Each structure stands twice: as C-alpha cells, then as structure tokens.
Structure 1
Amino acid sequence: MFKVEEILQCFENNSLIAAGISIILNISISILGFIPSIFITAANIGFFGFGKGLILSILGEALGAMISFYLYRKGINKVKTKISINNKYLSRLQQTRGKEAFLLIFATRVFPFVPSGLVTLASAGSSVGMLNFSMASTLGKIPALVIEAYSTQQILYWNGQGKVILGISSIIIISILIRKSNSKYSGL
C-alpha cells in the first residue's frame, strides 16, 4: 500500500519530474481500480500546496479514469461477458446512455462511497461513449477532490492530539457500521 511519506520522499528526490510521477501514480491506481487515491492527493497537497496539488490530483484522476475506461472496455469486448454488479446505481448505469448516463456517472463520482473503479468498470460495460464518460467523470470528481484535498490539508496540519481524535472517531464509526452490517445479515 502507498504511504504519504514515501510518495513525498519520491517527489523530493525527483522534484523536476514530481508532477509526472504523481500523474503516473494516479493512472496506475485508476487502472488497478481498488486502491484509494487519497494517498496521492495528500502527497500532492503536501508537496505542491493546496491549489497546485488539487489541480494535479484532478488532472491525474481524470487521465486515470479515461485510460482505465479505455482498457476496461477493450477487456470487456475481448471476453464478451456481461458484468454483474449488485448496486442499483451501477447496474442502472450499465443500461443507460446519453444524458442519463452522463448524470449517473457524474452523481456516482460525486458520491464518495462508490468506488471509482466500479464506476469506471460499469461505464466501460455500458454503451456510454468516451467523451461523455470523460466529461461526467471529471466534472463529478472535482467537488469530491476539493473536499478530499481540503480535508487532507486540514489533517496534515493537525497536531498529534487532533490525529488521535480523528483515529478514535474513525474506529468508532467503522465499528458501528460493521455492527449494523452484521445485524442486517444475521437474520438471513
């Protein structure tokens, strides 16, 4: 897994090409589809500052989504199998086109709990075109990345006590969600 400190060290050791490294990392994470990109966003904000780091994160994620979409679609077309996704929004996305597809992609990019890789995979399995996907994906990612970058910036400047409070709060929230999930499925 990526660590912000390791990415920052890489940027510092290669400051002339740090932006290119950031974009390549974002593209790689997008292609893999299951690794969160927040580590790169944090490194971008820490190394380049808020404004430049945010723009670099948006650019990297946009290019990553487009390249992933292209590769996923090529892979789907090669195997010619139907993708089965158990999420009502993503399943619906596979069956839409045009304006409705644009709005669904935009909405799922803004919504932070839908994994980007699944949105890209569902889009690649649909009839949505590359231009429509790219525009909706990028525009939807902007508000999500602004929030992510701002939150990351605040966390980077917190003292140890603030980070401990965040960690404990996160553990409590995750525990509650796991407990609710287990009680939901225990009656099956």
Structure 2
Amino acid sequence: MLDLFPSNPLLASFISILLNIAVAIAGIIPSTFITIGTVSILGFKIGVVILILGEAAGALISFSLYRRGILKLSRNSQYNKVENRFLYRLKDSNGIQAFFMVILLRVLPFVPSGIVTLTAAISKIGTIPFFMASTLGKIPALIIEAYSLVYILNFGTELQILIAVMALLIIFTYIALRKASNKES
C-alpha cells in the first residue's frame, strides 16, 4: 500500500488529493487505503489536513459531475428512487435542513460518501452549502478514521489480521441480514 505513495511529502500530498478526488467521483470505492498511505507518509496532523483537502475537493467535483449527469438523466427518465430514510429526507430538503442532513450523513461511518453526494446532487441544496456541510461532516469522521488506522497499524501483524477478519465478518453478516430482510419484505 505504501509503495503507491512517494516518500516526497509534497508529491505524496498531491497524489493523496488526486486519489481522494478519483474515489469521490467513483462513489463506491472506500478511501481507507488513501488514509493509511497519507497518514503513514505525512504523519497524523499533516496527513489529516491533506485528507480533509482531498475529501473536500472530491466532494465538490463529484457533486458537480453528479448534478450535471442527473440533469441529463432526469430529462429522459424518472430518477428519484431513494430508500434510506435519512437520504430520503435529504433528497426532499433544502436550506438549513439540507445543510445539517449532509453534516449528519458525512459523520455517520456506515453511509457511503458517494451515496450522500449523489442524493445531495438530486436535492435542492446549493453547491456552496453542500461543500461546507460535506467538509464539516468529514472532519470528525476523518480524524477518527486516521487515528484508528494509526492505532491499528501499531498492533502486531496477528492482531491486524484478526481485526481485518472480524471487520469482514461483520460486513458479510450485515449484507446477509440485509438481503434476508429484503427477501422478507
């Protein structure tokens, strides 16, 4: 993982920001590997600042691209199906309510950023309020993620593998339970 990042701090910062933008545009790729590389090369404090800049730039660019794409899609079809209740509220909100919904959804660890950005793009929230709310919501989430990863990276290899296996089991259990719940509905 660390081989992807150069040892030059300036170049590592630039690559981290570009990778964050690419992950934000893709919308479904986790950014954990970027956090690990950035914090490992730049240290916790500077790494978190660079991660925040990258996440903010990624959110702004992906929001703009998603909104343009949705405008084109909406001319041809009805593209408004949102199932999560928080995302549904965001889709139908505007103003200060939308602003705080974006902050809340950015702080929550299990809501993918791409889905929040996509939902915000089909909502009535403006670009600048989205950018501000998205960035404010990502700051605590990134600090917690970076701190947790730095802490875990200091564990022995066996403990890191155990944590990774446990995380995968939790994810697979969640997916299985969700699929079973959807079949019952």
The two structures share one fold, judged by TM-score above 0.5: yes
Tell me which residue corresponds to 1:162. 159
1:183 and 1:70, CA in 2 relative to 1: closer, same or farther beyond 3 A? closer
Amino acid at match of 2:52: I
Tell me which residue corresponds to 1:22. 16
Shift of 1:103: 0.8
Query: 1:139-154 maps to which residues of 2 (within 5 A)?
Result: 139-154=136-151
1:16 and 1:128, CA in 2 relative to 1: closer, same or farther beyond 3 A? closer
1:61 aligns with 2:58: no
Gaps of 5+ in 1: none
1:85 aligns with 2:82: yes
Tell me which residue corresponds to 2:130. 133
Q: Is the 8 A contact 1:89 1:104 kept in 2?
A: yes
Q: Is the 8 A contact 2:12 2:38 kept in 1?
A: no
1:11 and 1:69, CA in 2 relative to 1: closer, same or farther beyond 3 A? same
Structure-1-length-normalised TM-score: 0.88
* 1:122 aligned to which of 107, 119, 122: 119
Distance 2:158 2:130 in 1: 42
Shift of 1:132: 0.7
Between Structure 1 and Structure 2, how many residues are aligned?
182
1:151 and 1:99, CA in 2 relative to 1: closer, same or farther beyond 3 A? same
Q: Is the 8 A contact 2:12 2:41 kept in 1?
A: no
Tell me which residue corresponds to 2:96. 99
Tell me which residue corresponds to 1:10. 4
- Aligned-residue sequence identity (percent) comes to 45
Tell me which residue corresponds to 1:39. 33
Moved more, 77-86 or 45-54: 77-86
Shift of 1:129: 0.4
Structure-2-length-normalised TM-score: 0.90
1:35 and 1:74, CA in 2 relative to 1: closer, same or farther beyond 3 A? same
Shift of 1:168: 3.7
Moved more, 129-138 or 160-169: 160-169
Distance 1:186 1:68 in 2: 33
Runs of 4+ in structure 1 off by over 6 angstroms are none
Gaps of 5+ in 2: none
Taking only aligned residues, the RMSD between alpha carbons, in angstroms, comes to: 1.8
